Amino acid sequence: MGSLPHIVEDLEGVVQLYSDGSVFRANDVDFNIPIHDDSSIVWRDCQFDNQNHLYLRLYKPVNASTKLPVVYFFHGGGFCVGSRTWPNNHNACLRLASGLQALVVAPDYRLAPEHRLPAAVDDALTSLKWLQARATADGAPAQDTWLHDQAVDFDRVYIMGDSSGGNMAHHLAVQLGPGSPELAPVHIRGYVLMAPFFGGTVRTKSEAEGMPEPILNVEILDRFWRLSLPPGKNADHPLANPFSPFSKKNLESVMFDPVLVIAGEIELLRDRVEDYARRLKEAGKKVEYVEFEGKYHGFFNNDPYSELGDRVLQEIKDWMSKISG
């Protein structure tokens, strides 16, 4: 008789990969995070991918008096965990919708290890194609006041991602190019990468010497890559490392829309994120880097209604105004 399947990878009991390839995924994660709903934002869920049963959540200010810009928000979770329904992500989107006075679109995407990369990036593009379909003359139902071209401005679309969502935003920027012509009439103006989850086989100083964070350490980072990358690949894969030696494109020669990069001063990914922004800026890209003193990974998503959250939103608003003229 063969041995019983045993756990080979364990993400704090939330996701467990067994030796026979089966996956256990907990559905009753205990969050001690209250929902901050002051009734200024209404929200609803829509299915955007019937084949993969994927949904997104729309957030709209109640008292909007002008056409709203569109802000996409891709959640984090190392490509392995997370959902639009998790309270931290829900609160972040409520705050983005009110603080930016925007229609916020928060798509889910397929998670690893059941669906390894590039599945998540593919799903992100599918969610944008969903918006494109509704921006065409006959795409949105006439009764859908949320997505009517008199309610939202499809010429002002911004892509935002936190952690692994920031990685996805980067790949969308590279794939879609300046002005996102393949999404017309949707026009992406720029990308906000909040501590994007990038990797590499060579440790940065902050990864090698930094103190473990309350919910993150280098072992967890490594585990995320083992679970999310194609089997047998390491963190120098182009989907993990934007400057991968195995990439078919020289990133410094690729053209894409403006990027705002945000990081915490003491997070493990800080040096890798700063290096990404610096190298792109040196290559002539329109990249801005903002660092928040004394902050760990996920600082906005975990407390968007704080004074710090207000500062993050102001940085984003100022940047959006600058790049949109």
Q: What is the pLDDT of residues 210-263, one digit of tens each?
A: 888 988 999 999 999 999 999 999 999 999 999 999 998 888 889 999 999 999
Catalytic residue set: 163, 267, 297
What contacts 24+ positions apart, CB below 8 Å, involve 87-91? 87/31, 87/33, 87/34, 87/35, 88/31, 88/33, 88/298, 88/301, 88/302, 89/301, 90/35, 90/57, 91/33, 91/35, 91/36, 91/304, 91/305
**pLDDT range class, residue 24, cuts 50, 70, 90:** very high
> What confidence category does residue 277 fall into, taking pLDDT thresholds of 50, 70 and 90?
very high
The maximal CA–CA distance of the chain, rounded, in angstroms, is 69
- pTM for this structure? 0.96
Look at residue 140 in the predicted model and tell me its pLDDT.
57
Residue 291's Cβ-count burial label (10 Å; 0-12, 13-18, 19+) is: middle
| pLDDT score of 65 | 80
What percentage of the chain has pLDDT greater than the value 70?
97
* pLDDT tens for each residue of 98-152: 999 999 999 999 999 999 999 999 999 999 999 999 998 665 555 678 888 788 9
Average pLDDT of span 191-198: 98
The mean predicted confidence, pLDDT, of the chain is 94
Percent of the chain with pLDDT over 90: 84
